[in-house]
A and B are shown apart, each in its own frame.
Chain A
Amino acid sequence: MPKKKVKKVVNKENIRHDGRKLSELRPIKLEVGILGNADGSAYIEQGKNKILAGVYGPKEVHPKHLALPDRSRLRCRYHMAPFSVQERKSPAPSRRDIELSKVIREAFEPSVFTEYYPKTSIDIFIEVLQADGGTRCASITAASLALADAGIPLRDLVSACAAGKVDGRIVLDLNDKEDKEGEADLPLAYMSNLNAITLLQMDGMLTSEEFEQAINLALEGCNQIYQLQKEALKAKYVEVKETMNEGADEQ
Protein backbone atom coordinates (compact mmCIF):
# COMPACT_ATOMS: atom_id res chain seq x y z
CA MET A 1 0.00 0.00 0.00
CA PRO A 2 1.50 3.32 -0.98
CA LYS A 3 1.89 5.69 1.92
CA LYS A 4 2.75 9.36 2.10
CA LYS A 5 6.47 9.27 1.47
CA VAL A 6 8.61 11.57 3.58
CA LYS A 7 11.83 10.41 1.99
CA LYS A 8 12.10 8.90 -1.47
CA VAL A 9 13.20 5.30 -1.69
CA VAL A 10 15.12 6.06 -4.88
CA ASN A 11 16.85 9.46 -5.14
CA LYS A 12 17.36 11.77 -8.14
CA GLU A 13 20.73 10.19 -8.99
CA ASN A 14 18.98 6.82 -9.30
CA ILE A 15 20.57 5.53 -6.12
CA ARG A 16 18.33 3.47 -3.86
CA HIS A 17 17.95 4.05 -0.12
CA ASP A 18 20.32 1.16 0.64
CA GLY A 19 22.95 2.55 -1.73
CA ARG A 20 22.30 0.18 -4.64
CA LYS A 21 21.99 1.11 -8.29
CA LEU A 22 18.66 0.44 -10.05
CA SER A 23 19.74 -2.87 -11.56
CA GLU A 24 21.92 -4.10 -8.72
CA LEU A 25 21.24 -7.24 -6.68
CA ARG A 26 21.59 -7.30 -2.92
CA PRO A 27 24.71 -9.12 -1.64
CA ILE A 28 24.05 -12.87 -1.87
CA LYS A 29 25.68 -15.61 0.17
CA LEU A 30 24.96 -19.23 -0.73
CA GLU A 31 25.98 -22.38 1.13
CA VAL A 32 25.27 -25.95 0.09
CA GLY A 33 24.97 -29.07 2.25
CA ILE A 34 24.62 -27.50 5.66
CA LEU A 35 22.00 -29.75 7.30
CA GLY A 36 22.95 -33.14 8.77
CA ASN A 37 19.78 -35.16 8.19
CA ALA A 38 18.42 -33.78 4.94
CA ASP A 39 19.34 -35.53 1.68
CA GLY A 40 20.14 -32.13 0.28
CA SER A 41 20.21 -28.65 1.79
CA ALA A 42 21.19 -25.07 1.15
CA TYR A 43 21.24 -21.74 2.92
CA ILE A 44 20.83 -18.33 1.36
CA GLU A 45 21.39 -14.82 2.61
CA GLN A 46 20.17 -12.18 0.21
CA GLY A 47 20.32 -8.78 1.86
CA LYS A 48 18.71 -9.38 5.23
CA ASN A 49 16.85 -12.49 4.06
CA LYS A 50 18.05 -15.65 5.79
CA ILE A 51 16.48 -18.81 4.43
CA LEU A 52 17.09 -22.55 4.85
CA ALA A 53 15.99 -25.15 2.33
CA GLY A 54 16.06 -28.91 2.92
CA VAL A 55 15.16 -31.72 0.53
CA TYR A 56 14.16 -35.27 1.46
CA GLY A 57 13.77 -37.89 -1.20
CA PRO A 58 13.11 -39.57 -3.47
CA LYS A 59 11.46 -41.64 -0.74
CA GLU A 60 8.31 -43.61 -0.03
CA VAL A 61 5.19 -41.42 -0.05
CA HIS A 62 3.14 -40.91 3.08
CA PRO A 63 0.16 -41.16 2.93
CA LYS A 64 0.52 -43.88 0.33
CA HIS A 65 -2.50 -42.96 -1.79
CA LEU A 66 -0.65 -39.84 -2.90
CA ALA A 67 1.87 -41.92 -4.83
CA LEU A 68 1.81 -41.36 -8.61
CA PRO A 69 2.23 -44.36 -10.90
CA ASP A 70 4.41 -42.67 -13.51
CA ARG A 71 6.47 -40.09 -11.64
CA SER A 72 7.59 -38.78 -8.31
CA ARG A 73 5.30 -36.49 -6.36
CA LEU A 74 6.96 -33.17 -5.74
CA ARG A 75 5.86 -31.50 -2.52
CA CYS A 76 6.82 -28.18 -1.07
CA ARG A 77 6.28 -26.37 2.19
CA TYR A 78 7.19 -22.70 2.42
CA HIS A 79 7.07 -21.53 5.98
CA MET A 80 8.03 -18.39 7.83
CA ALA A 81 9.44 -18.52 11.34
CA PRO A 82 7.35 -16.57 13.89
CA PHE A 83 10.33 -14.29 14.56
CA SER A 84 11.19 -13.69 10.90
CA VAL A 85 9.15 -10.49 10.57
CA GLN A 86 8.57 -7.29 12.56
CA GLU A 87 5.36 -8.41 14.24
CA ARG A 88 5.34 -12.04 15.40
CA LYS A 89 3.75 -14.27 12.83
CA SER A 90 1.59 -17.18 13.94
CA PRO A 91 3.42 -20.44 13.17
CA ALA A 92 0.28 -21.88 11.56
CA PRO A 93 0.57 -21.73 7.76
CA SER A 94 -1.14 -18.60 6.43
CA ARG A 95 -3.06 -18.40 3.15
CA ARG A 96 -0.03 -16.66 1.71
CA ASP A 97 2.23 -19.55 2.79
CA ILE A 98 -0.11 -22.05 1.14
CA GLU A 99 -0.20 -20.14 -2.14
CA LEU A 100 3.57 -19.68 -2.16
CA SER A 101 4.15 -23.37 -1.40
CA LYS A 102 2.04 -24.16 -4.48
CA VAL A 103 3.72 -21.76 -6.90
CA ILE A 104 7.22 -22.68 -5.66
CA ARG A 105 6.46 -26.38 -6.16
CA GLU A 106 5.22 -25.61 -9.66
CA ALA A 107 8.37 -23.61 -10.33
CA PHE A 108 10.39 -26.80 -9.78
CA GLU A 109 8.18 -29.22 -11.74
CA PRO A 110 9.80 -28.41 -15.11
CA SER A 111 13.26 -28.70 -13.54
CA VAL A 112 13.11 -32.12 -11.84
CA PHE A 113 13.16 -35.42 -13.77
CA THR A 114 10.22 -36.70 -11.71
CA GLU A 115 9.60 -39.54 -14.20
CA TYR A 116 12.83 -41.22 -13.01
CA TYR A 117 11.30 -41.99 -9.61
CA PRO A 118 7.72 -43.26 -9.93
CA LYS A 119 5.70 -43.89 -6.75
CA THR A 120 8.03 -41.79 -4.60
CA SER A 121 7.94 -38.31 -3.19
CA ILE A 122 10.48 -35.54 -3.20
CA ASP A 123 9.81 -33.12 -0.37
CA ILE A 124 11.14 -29.58 -0.33
CA PHE A 125 11.05 -27.75 3.00
CA ILE A 126 11.72 -24.04 3.14
CA GLU A 127 12.10 -22.16 6.40
CA VAL A 128 12.34 -18.40 6.24
CA LEU A 129 14.36 -17.45 9.33
CA GLN A 130 14.42 -13.74 8.55
CA ALA A 131 12.39 -12.02 5.85
CA ASP A 132 13.26 -8.79 4.10
CA GLY A 133 11.35 -8.83 0.81
CA GLY A 134 11.74 -11.25 -2.05
CA THR A 135 11.63 -14.37 0.10
CA ARG A 136 9.88 -16.55 -2.48
CA CYS A 137 12.63 -15.88 -4.99
CA ALA A 138 15.46 -16.40 -2.50
CA SER A 139 13.71 -19.60 -1.35
CA ILE A 140 13.64 -20.94 -4.91
CA THR A 141 17.31 -20.10 -5.45
CA ALA A 142 18.21 -22.01 -2.27
CA ALA A 143 15.81 -24.93 -2.80
CA SER A 144 17.16 -25.52 -6.29
CA LEU A 145 20.63 -25.93 -4.79
CA ALA A 146 19.21 -28.26 -2.14
CA LEU A 147 17.66 -30.43 -4.89
CA ALA A 148 21.00 -30.57 -6.68
CA ASP A 149 22.76 -31.33 -3.38
CA ALA A 150 20.35 -34.25 -2.85
CA GLY A 151 21.64 -35.71 -6.10
CA ILE A 152 18.28 -35.47 -7.83
CA PRO A 153 18.64 -35.24 -11.62
CA LEU A 154 17.64 -31.78 -12.83
CA ARG A 155 17.16 -30.35 -16.31
CA ASP A 156 18.63 -27.09 -15.06
CA LEU A 157 18.98 -25.09 -11.87
CA VAL A 158 16.11 -22.71 -11.17
CA SER A 159 17.16 -19.17 -10.31
CA ALA A 160 14.71 -16.57 -9.11
CA CYS A 161 14.68 -12.83 -8.74
CA ALA A 162 12.12 -10.04 -8.62
CA ALA A 163 11.99 -6.77 -10.47
CA GLY A 164 9.54 -3.98 -9.77
CA LYS A 165 8.74 -0.32 -9.88
CA VAL A 166 9.74 2.03 -7.10
CA ASP A 167 9.33 5.81 -7.24
CA GLY A 168 8.57 5.54 -10.95
CA ARG A 169 11.68 3.55 -11.83
CA ILE A 170 12.14 -0.10 -12.71
CA VAL A 171 14.47 -1.71 -10.16
CA LEU A 172 15.93 -5.16 -9.54
CA ASP A 173 15.60 -7.30 -6.40
CA LEU A 174 13.27 -5.28 -4.18
CA ASN A 175 13.78 -5.37 -0.44
CA ASP A 176 10.95 -5.15 2.07
CA LYS A 177 10.80 -1.33 2.15
CA GLU A 178 10.79 -1.10 -1.65
CA ASP A 179 8.17 -3.83 -1.91
CA LYS A 180 5.86 -2.08 0.57
CA GLU A 181 6.32 1.46 -0.68
CA GLY A 182 6.85 0.69 -4.35
CA GLU A 183 4.30 0.59 -7.16
CA ALA A 184 4.85 -2.96 -8.42
CA ASP A 185 6.62 -6.23 -7.63
CA LEU A 186 7.20 -8.95 -10.20
CA PRO A 187 8.85 -12.14 -8.92
CA LEU A 188 10.13 -14.50 -11.60
CA ALA A 189 11.88 -17.90 -11.64
CA TYR A 190 13.91 -18.98 -14.63
CA MET A 191 15.94 -21.87 -15.97
CA SER A 192 18.76 -19.99 -17.72
CA ASN A 193 20.01 -22.78 -19.97
CA LEU A 194 16.54 -23.75 -21.14
CA ASN A 195 15.16 -20.23 -21.45
CA ALA A 196 12.07 -21.25 -19.46
CA ILE A 197 10.13 -19.07 -17.03
CA THR A 198 8.77 -21.35 -14.31
CA LEU A 199 7.31 -18.83 -11.88
CA LEU A 200 5.75 -15.51 -12.70
CA GLN A 201 3.63 -13.38 -10.45
CA MET A 202 2.99 -9.70 -10.16
CA ASP A 203 1.13 -7.19 -8.09
CA GLY A 204 1.05 -3.47 -8.66
CA MET A 205 0.54 -1.49 -11.82
CA LEU A 206 2.75 -1.49 -14.88
CA THR A 207 2.25 -0.14 -18.39
CA SER A 208 3.14 -2.49 -21.24
CA GLU A 209 6.59 -0.90 -21.69
CA GLU A 210 7.35 -1.05 -17.98
CA PHE A 211 6.12 -4.63 -17.88
CA GLU A 212 8.47 -5.72 -20.63
CA GLN A 213 11.34 -3.80 -19.05
CA ALA A 214 10.68 -5.40 -15.64
CA ILE A 215 10.57 -8.93 -17.04
CA ASN A 216 13.85 -8.40 -18.89
CA LEU A 217 15.50 -6.94 -15.79
CA ALA A 218 14.31 -9.85 -13.65
CA LEU A 219 15.70 -12.31 -16.22
CA GLU A 220 19.03 -10.51 -16.07
CA GLY A 221 19.00 -10.86 -12.28
CA CYS A 222 18.24 -14.57 -12.62
CA ASN A 223 21.22 -15.02 -14.94
CA GLN A 224 23.53 -13.41 -12.37
CA ILE A 225 22.11 -15.58 -9.60
CA TYR A 226 22.55 -18.66 -11.80
CA GLN A 227 26.30 -18.04 -11.89
CA LEU A 228 26.39 -17.67 -8.10
CA GLN A 229 24.47 -20.94 -7.73
CA LYS A 230 26.93 -22.82 -9.91
CA GLU A 231 29.86 -21.42 -7.94
CA ALA A 232 28.23 -22.44 -4.65
CA LEU A 233 27.66 -25.99 -5.88
CA LYS A 234 31.23 -26.32 -7.13
CA ALA A 235 32.57 -24.85 -3.89
CA LYS A 236 30.97 -27.69 -1.96
CA TYR A 237 32.70 -30.31 -4.07
CA VAL A 238 36.05 -28.57 -3.78
CA GLU A 239 35.53 -28.83 -0.03
CA VAL A 240 34.69 -32.54 -0.29
CA LYS A 241 37.77 -33.15 -2.42
CA GLU A 242 40.00 -31.33 0.06
CA THR A 243 38.75 -33.35 3.02
CA MET A 244 39.28 -36.55 1.03
CA ASN A 245 42.84 -35.52 0.23
CA GLU A 246 43.49 -34.71 3.88
CA GLY A 247 42.21 -38.17 4.81
CA ALA A 248 44.56 -39.75 2.29
CA ASP A 249 47.53 -37.76 3.64
CA GLU A 250 46.88 -38.95 7.18
CA GLN A 251 46.95 -42.55 6.05
Chain B
Amino acid sequence: MTSPVVARMKQKRMADLISLGKRLDERGLTDYREAQIEIGVIEKAEGSARVRLGKTEVLVGIKIGLGEPFSDVPNQGVLTVNAELVPLASPTFEPGPPGEDAIELARVVDRGIRESKAIDLEKLCITPGKKVFIVFIDLYVLNYDGNLIDASALAALAALLNTKVFNYEVKEGEVQIKPGYKSLPIRNYPIAVTFAKINDKLVVDPCLEEEQVMETRLTMTIEKDEKVCALQKSGKGYFRIQQILEAAKIARQKAAELRKLVVKK
Protein backbone atom coordinates (compact mmCIF):
# COMPACT_ATOMS: atom_id res chain seq x y z
CA MET B 1 0.00 0.00 0.00
CA THR B 2 2.92 2.33 0.62
CA SER B 3 5.06 1.81 -2.45
CA PRO B 4 5.83 5.36 -3.65
CA VAL B 5 9.21 6.47 -2.47
CA VAL B 6 9.83 9.34 -0.06
CA ALA B 7 13.11 11.14 -0.64
CA ARG B 8 15.80 10.40 1.94
CA MET B 9 16.13 14.10 2.74
CA LYS B 10 12.45 14.34 3.51
CA GLN B 11 12.60 11.16 5.58
CA LYS B 12 15.45 12.62 7.59
CA ARG B 13 13.64 15.92 8.07
CA MET B 14 10.53 14.08 9.26
CA ALA B 15 12.53 11.99 11.70
CA ASP B 16 14.43 15.04 12.99
CA LEU B 17 11.24 17.01 13.49
CA ILE B 18 9.57 14.13 15.30
CA SER B 19 12.46 13.81 17.73
CA LEU B 20 11.78 17.49 18.54
CA GLY B 21 8.10 16.71 19.05
CA LYS B 22 7.00 18.35 15.77
CA ARG B 23 5.63 17.12 12.45
CA LEU B 24 5.88 18.19 8.82
CA ASP B 25 2.28 19.42 8.76
CA GLU B 26 2.84 21.32 12.03
CA ARG B 27 0.70 19.02 14.13
CA GLY B 28 1.80 17.89 17.57
CA LEU B 29 2.66 14.19 17.98
CA THR B 30 -0.76 13.38 19.46
CA ASP B 31 -2.89 15.66 17.26
CA TYR B 32 -5.42 14.34 14.80
CA ARG B 33 -6.01 16.04 11.49
CA GLU B 34 -9.33 17.83 11.24
CA ALA B 35 -12.16 15.30 11.05
CA GLN B 36 -15.35 16.07 9.15
CA ILE B 37 -18.32 13.76 9.34
CA GLU B 38 -21.38 13.79 7.12
CA ILE B 39 -24.18 11.32 7.69
CA GLY B 40 -26.92 9.98 5.44
CA VAL B 41 -25.06 10.72 2.21
CA ILE B 42 -26.43 7.69 0.34
CA GLU B 43 -30.23 7.61 0.45
CA LYS B 44 -30.57 4.05 -0.86
CA ALA B 45 -28.38 2.62 1.87
CA GLU B 46 -30.01 1.90 5.24
CA GLY B 47 -27.17 3.85 6.83
CA SER B 48 -24.22 5.83 5.51
CA ALA B 49 -21.53 8.31 6.45
CA ARG B 50 -18.61 10.04 4.86
CA VAL B 51 -15.57 10.88 6.95
CA ARG B 52 -12.74 13.18 5.96
CA LEU B 53 -9.62 12.97 8.05
CA GLY B 54 -7.35 15.58 6.52
CA LYS B 55 -7.25 14.47 2.90
CA THR B 56 -8.17 10.88 3.67
CA GLU B 57 -11.75 10.21 2.70
CA VAL B 58 -13.85 7.14 3.44
CA LEU B 59 -17.47 6.47 2.58
CA VAL B 60 -19.30 3.79 4.52
CA GLY B 61 -22.59 2.34 3.34
CA ILE B 62 -24.66 -0.04 5.41
CA LYS B 63 -27.19 -2.40 3.90
CA ILE B 64 -29.54 -4.56 5.91
CA GLY B 65 -30.45 -7.95 4.52
CA LEU B 66 -32.18 -11.13 5.61
CA GLY B 67 -30.43 -14.44 6.00
CA GLU B 68 -29.61 -17.40 8.16
CA PRO B 69 -27.71 -17.08 11.46
CA PHE B 70 -24.47 -18.94 12.15
CA SER B 71 -25.19 -22.33 13.69
CA ASP B 72 -23.18 -21.60 16.86
CA VAL B 73 -25.14 -18.39 17.60
CA PRO B 74 -28.66 -19.16 16.30
CA ASN B 75 -30.28 -16.25 18.13
CA GLN B 76 -28.03 -13.47 16.83
CA GLY B 77 -28.03 -11.33 13.74
CA VAL B 78 -24.98 -11.38 11.48
CA LEU B 79 -22.41 -8.63 11.04
CA THR B 80 -20.08 -8.52 8.06
CA VAL B 81 -17.51 -5.88 7.22
CA ASN B 82 -15.89 -5.54 3.82
CA ALA B 83 -13.41 -2.97 2.58
CA GLU B 84 -12.71 -1.81 -0.95
CA LEU B 85 -9.57 0.13 -1.75
CA VAL B 86 -11.16 1.70 -4.82
CA PRO B 87 -8.60 2.40 -7.57
CA LEU B 88 -9.72 6.02 -7.86
CA ALA B 89 -8.49 6.62 -4.31
CA SER B 90 -4.78 6.25 -4.94
CA PRO B 91 -2.31 5.50 -7.76
CA THR B 92 -1.18 2.51 -5.69
CA PHE B 93 -4.61 0.86 -5.52
CA GLU B 94 -5.42 -1.65 -8.23
CA PRO B 95 -8.74 -3.16 -9.25
CA GLY B 96 -9.38 -6.76 -8.34
CA PRO B 97 -10.41 -8.83 -5.34
CA PRO B 98 -9.44 -7.39 -1.92
CA GLY B 99 -5.75 -7.81 -1.13
CA GLU B 100 -4.26 -8.33 2.32
CA ASP B 101 -4.34 -4.61 3.17
CA ALA B 102 -8.06 -4.34 2.39
CA ILE B 103 -8.78 -7.54 4.31
CA GLU B 104 -6.80 -6.35 7.30
CA LEU B 105 -8.60 -2.98 7.26
CA ALA B 106 -12.01 -4.67 7.19
CA ARG B 107 -11.10 -7.15 9.89
CA VAL B 108 -9.68 -4.53 12.27
CA VAL B 109 -12.81 -2.37 11.91
CA ASP B 110 -14.96 -5.50 12.33
CA ARG B 111 -13.09 -6.51 15.50
CA GLY B 112 -13.75 -3.14 17.15
CA ILE B 113 -17.47 -3.24 16.43
CA ARG B 114 -17.86 -6.93 17.27
CA GLU B 115 -15.78 -7.12 20.45
CA SER B 116 -17.28 -3.96 21.96
CA LYS B 117 -20.72 -5.46 21.18
CA ALA B 118 -21.63 -2.16 19.54
CA ILE B 119 -24.62 -3.70 17.79
CA ASP B 120 -27.11 -5.63 19.89
CA LEU B 121 -27.14 -8.62 17.56
CA GLU B 122 -29.71 -10.52 19.64
CA LYS B 123 -32.29 -7.86 18.80
CA LEU B 124 -31.67 -8.61 15.11
CA CYS B 125 -32.94 -12.17 15.41
CA ILE B 126 -36.30 -12.81 13.70
CA THR B 127 -36.76 -16.59 14.00
CA PRO B 128 -33.99 -18.27 16.04
CA GLY B 129 -31.87 -20.58 13.92
CA LYS B 130 -33.75 -19.64 10.75
CA LYS B 131 -34.06 -15.95 9.96
CA VAL B 132 -32.01 -13.00 11.16
CA PHE B 133 -31.01 -9.57 9.92
CA ILE B 134 -27.58 -9.26 8.34
CA VAL B 135 -25.77 -5.96 8.74
CA PHE B 136 -23.44 -5.41 5.77
CA ILE B 137 -20.90 -2.69 6.44
CA ASP B 138 -18.99 -1.71 3.33
CA LEU B 139 -15.96 0.53 3.72
CA TYR B 140 -15.29 2.46 0.56
CA VAL B 141 -12.00 4.33 0.47
CA LEU B 142 -12.34 7.37 -1.80
CA ASN B 143 -9.07 9.18 -1.17
CA TYR B 144 -6.02 7.71 0.50
CA ASP B 145 -3.82 9.98 2.57
CA GLY B 146 -2.92 7.66 5.43
CA ASN B 147 -4.68 6.22 8.49
CA LEU B 148 -7.49 4.40 6.74
CA ILE B 149 -8.33 2.37 9.83
CA ASP B 150 -9.30 5.31 12.07
CA ALA B 151 -11.22 7.09 9.31
CA SER B 152 -13.05 3.87 8.38
CA ALA B 153 -13.89 2.93 11.96
CA LEU B 154 -15.19 6.45 12.61
CA ALA B 155 -17.28 6.40 9.43
CA ALA B 156 -18.61 2.93 10.25
CA LEU B 157 -19.72 4.05 13.71
CA ALA B 158 -21.30 7.25 12.36
CA ALA B 159 -23.14 5.20 9.72
CA LEU B 160 -24.32 2.59 12.26
CA LEU B 161 -25.78 5.36 14.41
CA ASN B 162 -28.02 6.51 11.59
CA THR B 163 -28.91 3.08 10.23
CA LYS B 164 -32.58 2.18 9.92
CA VAL B 165 -33.98 -1.34 9.99
CA PHE B 166 -37.25 -1.92 8.15
CA ASN B 167 -40.30 -3.10 10.08
CA TYR B 168 -41.50 -6.62 9.47
CA GLU B 169 -43.95 -9.25 10.55
CA VAL B 170 -43.75 -13.02 10.39
CA LYS B 171 -46.74 -14.67 8.70
CA GLU B 172 -46.77 -18.46 8.38
CA GLY B 173 -43.01 -18.59 8.71
CA GLU B 174 -42.49 -15.96 5.99
CA VAL B 175 -40.99 -12.58 6.77
CA GLN B 176 -43.01 -9.76 5.34
CA ILE B 177 -41.69 -6.23 5.14
CA LYS B 178 -43.99 -3.55 6.53
CA PRO B 179 -43.80 0.19 6.03
CA GLY B 180 -41.70 2.22 8.46
CA TYR B 181 -38.30 1.88 10.08
CA LYS B 182 -36.66 1.44 13.45
CA SER B 183 -33.16 2.51 14.49
CA LEU B 184 -30.47 -0.15 14.62
CA PRO B 185 -29.94 -1.17 18.30
CA ILE B 186 -26.53 0.36 19.17
CA ARG B 187 -25.13 0.06 22.68
CA ASN B 188 -21.42 0.83 22.44
CA TYR B 189 -19.21 3.29 20.59
CA PRO B 190 -15.80 1.84 19.67
CA ILE B 191 -13.19 4.29 18.38
CA ALA B 192 -9.96 3.23 16.67
CA VAL B 193 -6.79 5.19 17.42
CA THR B 194 -3.73 4.47 15.28
CA PHE B 195 -0.11 5.21 16.13
CA ALA B 196 2.85 5.15 13.77
CA LYS B 197 6.31 4.54 15.17
CA ILE B 198 8.81 6.86 13.50
CA ASN B 199 12.36 7.27 14.78
CA ASP B 200 11.31 5.30 17.88
CA LYS B 201 8.58 7.85 18.72
CA LEU B 202 4.83 7.44 18.50
CA VAL B 203 2.71 9.76 16.40
CA VAL B 204 -1.06 9.66 16.25
CA ASP B 205 -3.09 9.65 13.00
CA PRO B 206 -0.21 9.20 10.52
CA CYS B 207 -0.67 10.83 7.11
CA LEU B 208 0.47 9.04 3.95
CA GLU B 209 4.04 10.35 4.02
CA GLU B 210 4.38 9.32 7.64
CA GLU B 211 3.03 5.86 6.85
CA GLN B 212 5.60 5.54 4.10
CA VAL B 213 8.50 6.12 6.46
CA MET B 214 7.10 4.55 9.63
CA GLU B 215 8.79 1.53 11.15
CA THR B 216 5.53 0.04 12.33
CA ARG B 217 1.99 0.83 13.39
CA LEU B 218 -0.39 0.03 16.22
CA THR B 219 -4.16 0.42 16.24
CA MET B 220 -6.02 0.43 19.55
CA THR B 221 -9.78 0.42 19.64
CA ILE B 222 -11.29 1.88 22.79
CA GLU B 223 -14.92 1.38 23.79
CA LYS B 224 -17.18 3.79 25.70
CA ASP B 225 -16.02 2.72 29.18
CA GLU B 226 -12.37 3.17 28.18
CA LYS B 227 -11.68 -0.54 27.91
CA VAL B 228 -9.41 -1.72 25.12
CA CYS B 229 -11.51 -3.87 22.78
CA ALA B 230 -9.20 -4.51 19.82
CA LEU B 231 -5.52 -4.23 18.97
CA GLN B 232 -3.57 -4.66 15.79
CA LYS B 233 0.14 -4.24 15.26
CA SER B 234 0.88 -3.93 11.59
CA GLY B 235 4.06 -3.28 9.65
CA LYS B 236 7.61 -4.51 9.68
CA GLY B 237 9.01 -3.11 12.92
CA TYR B 238 8.56 -3.80 16.59
CA PHE B 239 7.37 -2.09 19.79
CA ARG B 240 8.73 -1.96 23.30
CA ILE B 241 6.29 -2.69 26.09
CA GLN B 242 6.61 0.86 27.46
CA GLN B 243 5.56 2.24 24.08
CA ILE B 244 2.45 0.06 24.07
CA LEU B 245 1.43 1.14 27.56
CA GLU B 246 2.05 4.78 26.65
CA ALA B 247 -0.04 4.33 23.51
CA ALA B 248 -2.89 2.90 25.59
CA LYS B 249 -2.97 6.06 27.71
CA ILE B 250 -3.01 8.41 24.73
CA ALA B 251 -5.56 6.25 22.92
CA ARG B 252 -8.08 6.64 25.75
CA GLN B 253 -7.85 10.43 25.55
CA LYS B 254 -8.00 10.58 21.78
CA ALA B 255 -10.89 8.11 21.59
CA ALA B 256 -12.94 10.27 23.98
CA GLU B 257 -12.28 13.34 21.79
CA LEU B 258 -13.20 11.58 18.56
CA ARG B 259 -16.28 9.96 20.08
CA LYS B 260 -17.75 13.41 20.77
CA LEU B 261 -17.73 14.10 17.03
CA VAL B 262 -19.97 11.12 16.27
CA VAL B 263 -22.05 10.52 19.36
CA LYS B 264 -24.18 13.55 20.04
CA LYS B 265 -25.69 13.45 23.49
CA A211 – CA B226 in complex, angstroms? 12
CB distance from A181 to the nearest CB of B (A): 11
A147 within 8 A of B: no
A44-52, A195-203, A231-239 - the one binding chain B: A195-203
Report A198 CB to chain B, min CB distance, Å: 5
Give Cα distance in the complex from A202 to B111, angstroms.
Answer: 9
Indicate whether A150 reaches chain B with its CB closer than 8 angstroms.
no
In the complex, which residues 91-131 of chain A have their Cβ closer than 8 Å to any Cβ of chain B? 95-96, 98-99, 101-103, 106, 109-110
Inter-subunit contact B104/A196 (CB<8 Å): no
A99 to B234, CA, bound (A): 10
CA distance A106 to B1 in the complex (A): 14
> Are B241 and A197 in touch, CB under 8 angstroms?
yes
- B238, B248, B249 interface centre (most CB from chain A within 10 Å): B238
In this assembly, does A6 line the interface, its C-beta being within 8 Å of a C-beta of chain B? no
Residues of A within 8 A of B76 (CB): 1
The distance in angstroms between the C-alpha atoms of A212 and B107, with both chains bound, is 24
A201-B232, A204-B229, A208-B248 known; A110 vs B237 contact (CB < 8 Å): yes
- Cβ-based interface call for B67 (8 A): no
**A205 lies within 8 A of B241 (CB):** no
Shortest beta-carbon distance from A80 to chain B in Å: 16
B238 touches A110 (CB 8 A): yes
B245 to chain A, nearest CB (A): 6
For residues 189 through 234 of chain A, which have their beta carbon under 8 Å from a beta carbon of chain B?
191, 194-208, 211-212, 215-216, 219
Residues on A with C-beta less than 8 A from B229 are 203-205
Interface flag for B34 (CB, 8 Å) = no
The reply to whether A208 and B252 contact each other, CB–CB distance below 8 Å, is yes
| C-alpha gap A195/B227 in the complex (Å) | 26
- Determine how close the nearest CB of chain A comes to the CB of B109; give it in whole angstroms: 12
By the criterion CB–CB under 8 Å, are A200 and B244 in contact?
A: yes
A98: chain B residues at CB < 8 Å are: 100, 103
Q: Is A42 an interface residue (CB 8 A)?
A: no
Q: How many of chain B's residues have a CB under 8 angstroms from any CB in A?
A: 36
For residue A152, CB closer than 8 A to chain B, the reply is no
With A199-B233, A205-B228, A208-B248 given, is the CB distance from A215 to B241 under 8 Å?
Answer: yes
* Contact flag A200-B236 (CB < 8 Å), given A1-B72, A208-B226, A208-B228: no
Closest to B115 in A: A203
A202: nearest chain-B partner, CB-CB:
B231
Which residues on the A side are within 8 Å of B252 (C-beta)? 208
Q: Does B116 belong to the interface (CB within 8 Å)?
A: yes
Chain B residue at smallest Cβ distance from A183? B115
B73 at the interface (CB under 8 A from A): yes
- Collect the chain B residues with CB atoms within 8 Å of residue A103's CB: 104, 232-234
Complexed CA–CA distance, A203 and B236 (Å):
21
**CA of A219 to CA of B240, assembled, Å:** 11
Listed residue (A198, A205, A211) with the most chain B CB atoms within 10 angstroms of its CB: A205
For B103, list chain A residues within 8 Å (CB): 95, 98-99
Contact with A along B232-265 (1 / 0, CB 8 A): 1111111111001100110010000000000000
Q: Which residues of B sit under 8 angstroms from A216, Cβ to Cβ? A: 241
Which residues of chain A are within 8 angstroms of B104 by Cβ–Cβ distance?
99, 102-103
A145 at the interface (CB under 8 A from B): no
Chain B residues contacting A109 (CB-CB under 8 Å) are: 236-237
Taking Cβ atoms with an 8 Å cutoff, the residues of B that contact A are 72-73, 76, 100, 103-104, 106-107, 111, 114-116, 216, 218, 223, 226-241, 244-245, 248-249, 252
| Extra contacts besides A109-B236, A110-B236, A201-B231 (14): CB < 8 Å | A1-B76, A95-B103, A96-B107, A103-B104, A103-B233, A106-B233, A186-B231, A198-B238, A200-B239, A202-B231, A203-B231, A205-B228, A206-B227, A215-B245
Can you list 11 contacts pairing A with B, beta carbon distance less than 8 Å? A98-B103, A99-B100, A103-B233, A109-B236, A109-B237, A110-B238, A200-B244, A203-B111, A205-B229, A208-B248, A219-B241
